[in-house]
Chains A and B, each alone.
Chain A
Amino acid sequence: MPDHKIKRGVSFYSYQEEYFLGKLDLEGCIAEAAKIGANGIEVIPEQSFDSFPHLSAAELEAWHGYMSKYGTTPVAYDLFLDRKRYKNRLLTLEEGVESVVRDIKLASKLGCSVIRVIINTPAEVVEKAAPYALEYGVKLAVEIHSPMRYDHRWVNEHLEVIHRVDNGFLGLLPDMGTFVARLPRVITQRALREGATPALVEYIEKIYQEQPTDLHTLAPEIAWRGGNPADLTLAGEAAWYNNLDPRVLLDHMPYIFHIQAKFYEMTDDLVEYSIPYDKIVDVLVEGGYDGYLSSEYEGNRHIQDVQEVDSIEQVRRQHEMFKRLLGESDTAEKKV
């Protein structure tokens, strides 16, 4: 295993089921992360703090207290841009910048060094917020999330700004959901429970793997093949997944500030059913990535109708896989 500086973390998005149902509180999430050595914390303040955006001094103090107590580090802050805040108009450019600057200041108070800029944020908003990112020392990382690609028109607008401003505080946040090699089993199984036709589900799975650039034609085709509403829903969902070559990350490495390690199902064999993390980690090591691999479990919504979700176990499995892929052994000294 070549030397590398890749670090392990978890986004609290992963624990959304337990948090929602009151099975975990904020301290509980931090404790679970620390237990598995996922010491880099990615927080979604709009999930973790009902007081958002007006976090109290006591809440901030408690946050930093937990970090000390459990030996974890705040790393990333996920912002949302409510462009459709008003019923009859989009936010203006100024309102958008104001929203991002609010998040930059709050991220700084939480001790986060990177902000996840959600993909629907216009490039011109990011450009105007760039001086504030520099001033507060918080990087703005535009999330590249499926169905976006690294050469998409919308992403190219962001890349143009990132490269033109080039102040060290504008970059990218790849979501590993753009590297889905086959449709997640938890999604096709849910479709079947909702009444999808087994033969058509198999067909959709096959087309996804064989002709991934043709997915926009799947929905009408499935309708002509006699698909019912559940079949059509799955056909539409399939078009939202991507099967890019992970080597595309090498083209952007100096600007990759953080990675969301998206996953839908860690199997009993401790691999992700759909996403080739072995290839991804090889690419990250080759490219010299020195940020965090931040777990982002998104399987709960696909199984919660029929089973009790165990996000904690799913994240634990992903980190067992990471330890193996990163060459970490339990007896080795913890990497700093």
Chain B
Amino acid sequence: MNERDLEIRQANKKALPKFIVTMVLCCLGGGVIGFLAAFFGADRLADVLKTAGVWFGWHLAPWLMAACAAASLAVSLPLYARARALADRWDGEDMDAYDRIDRQLTRNQKLNTFLLITGFFLLAASYTGSFSGGQKELSRLIGMAVAILAFFVLLFVQVRLSQKTVDLVKRLCPEKRGSVYELNFQSKWLDSCDEAERALIGQCAYKAYRAVNLACVILWGVFTVTALFLGTGLLPPLAVCILWGVSNGTYLRWAGKLSGIATVGGVSNP
């Protein structure tokens, strides 16, 4: 055995005890939770949770959706307007001013992403609440109509804001290419990014990939337990495993494809 093999073996040996302890603690924790759930009759929660879900979808979700649409109009648009005003005053030299514009746009983008994802969830919740049980009471239909209308308002505002934000960035950075209305916008935008921007995108994407992996493990655990005690069925864990597979499959496929290509970017300073 050479020196390098010995180093590798020693590194594994050093990390293994902590790994085993972590696995044992997780198994014990899962076992305790499962035992307590069975002991206290968690399966009776299924009906309670289903009723709560229907109530949420019927009474709350449509109005929360309307609130998201209102927030989009009342908060996102002014935030964009502020960034636009800063950009109009920018002399093209002041880097601190540019950083302020960038921070403003990033803040707005975070808010819009949160609102859009929440909107998708609330729309699904509204469907669940309005059409469960097959009853067509007027209040349910009104709730559904409010949810659909609010969703379209939210979607319209988000798309318009995305277009305006991209146009503003293109004004500040003339080398950028692509229109949000193009189907291949993301590819065109990436192609117009230089080495530093691609390095940044790569680092962010890797962190997102790791976060998705962790989230998938946790969700798989949660849905497996809920399938056992709350009768949620096979679909949730299947959906999680599909997402997990897509994420890892895509990463591994491109890692293989790109590993043969010489990298252009330099090493970043920490």
Asked if A pairs with B, the answer is no
Residues of A within 8 A of B (CB): none
Residues of B within 8 A of A (CB): none
